[in-house]
Amino acid sequence: MSLTAPDFTYVADLVHRESAITLAPGKEYLVEARLLPVARDTGHGTVPALVAELKGRPMGELHRKVIDAMTTNETSWFRDRAPFTALADDLLGELIARRSRERKLRIWSAACSSGQEPYSIIMAITDRLAAAGFGLEVLATDLSEEMLERARAGRYNQLEVNRGLAANLLVRHFTRAGIGWQVSEELRRAVTFRSMNLAVPFPPMMQMDVIFLRNVLIYFDAPTKARVLNSMSRVLRPDGYLFLGGAETTINIDPRFERITSSGATVYRFRGEATG
């Protein structure tokens, strides 16, 4: 049974209300693909039956499962690689020089999904930071509690570790866990995982030297993008760096971010004052 227009509108409104993600008409196929496993796992069988159940219930765990399914994004180790190369080979040296008194960096993976991004960040820079006598704090946030649980556990199957993870890094930072792999305790200790909705006002946070906000803005409408970038400007240090996805930009949204190029990656530096 196909998803009806009213059912699609209901799911789109639910997702937008809870996450600010916009599902435009034409995304019916995506809703059906993401929600069919949820429908089967919860015993509803079909997506229309699942939506009917949602409509008859107050906001609760079933709604949260649907939102998690619709907000879970594709990820891999060192995704697109250029941002990690830029951070490790170009920007890290500048940051180490600027933070010579503090001897610590703070990095935020602002949509960490199942954890590959924050762990990739650590693997990319840990040796050089250690050589410089620097500490590292990594905050990793996501809207999906299911993804956060997976990220905290740090367990990945063979297919997942094959996606972008070099053999030498696998040997160094992972151990066998049954038929899968477990991230080392050292890496897991370096990350603080926290549930967070980027589309609402941020809680009190430490200032960040680097923020990875990759492949998130593309799901928001223009006003939400502007609000999120302004919130980021409150958290990012003026000489810090913001990484966006390859199809994302601050241009025509927030002119206070300076666009620079580093090792083939586009990076943004905040130049201004937060507003609002």
Cβ atoms of 108 and 118 within 8 Å: the answer is no
34 tagged catalytic: yes
Say if CB 216 and CB 110 are below 8 A apart: yes
Q: Treating both helix axes as pointing N-terminal to C-terminal, what angle do 28-41 and 5-19 enclose, rounded to 10 degrees?
A: 80
Q: What CA–CA distance (Å, rounded) separates 107 from 236?
A: 10
- Among residues 68, 142, 209, 254, which one is catalytic? 142
Residue for token pair 């241009």: 251
Spatial separation of the C-alpha atoms in residues 21 and 245, rounded to whole Å: 16
**Helices in the chain by DSSP H: which ranges?**
5-19, 28-41, 47-55, 61-71, 82-86, 92-98, 116-131, 145-153, 158-161, 167-173, 185-189, 222-235
What is the β-pairing status of strands 257-262 and 265-270? Answer: antiparallel
Q: Out of 7, 34, 188, 237, which one is annotated catalytic?
A: 34
Catalytic (active-site) positions: 34, 142
